[in-house]
């Protein structure tokens, strides 16, 4: 992960985080500590989901998505992200 040029800031083991999210305004991925997840596959699946959201940043693919949960743009971004995350899971192919 550290060799990825122009990557978002990664906050991967914050003891104060209880959720995972990508914050476009700071171009950063935030993850709860690994111990808060059921197992490693759930942790990495969530991490990849949030990293895929980060590809929407204007310095990358410049996708437009809303920060309002459930609206049309937000829903489309979630579909893109889930499709792409599925493509990263070798056991699903």
Q: pLDDT by residue (tens digit) across 24-79?
A: 899 999 999 999 999 999 999 899 999 999 999 998 888 887 778 788 888 888 88
Residue 38 class from Cβ within 10 Å (0-12 exposed, 13-18 middle, 19+ buried)? Answer: exposed
pLDDT: which is higher, 14 or 8: 8
In this prediction the pTM is 0.80
20: confidence class by pLDDT, cuts 50, 70, 90: very high
> Measured in whole angstroms, how far is the alpha carbon of residue 63 from the centre of its chain?
14
């Amino acid at each position: 992960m550290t060799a990825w040029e122009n990557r978002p800031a990664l906050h991967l083991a914050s003891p104060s985080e209880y959720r995972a999210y990508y914050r476009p305004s700071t171009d950063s991925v935030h993850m709860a500590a690994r111990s808060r997840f059921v197992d490693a596959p759930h942790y990495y699946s969530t991490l990849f989901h949030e990293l895929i959201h980060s590809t929407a940043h204007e310095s990358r693919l410049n996708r437009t998505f809303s920060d309002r949960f459930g609206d049309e743009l937000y829903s489309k971004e979630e579909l893109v992200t889930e499709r792409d995350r599925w493509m990263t899971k070798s056991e699903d192919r």
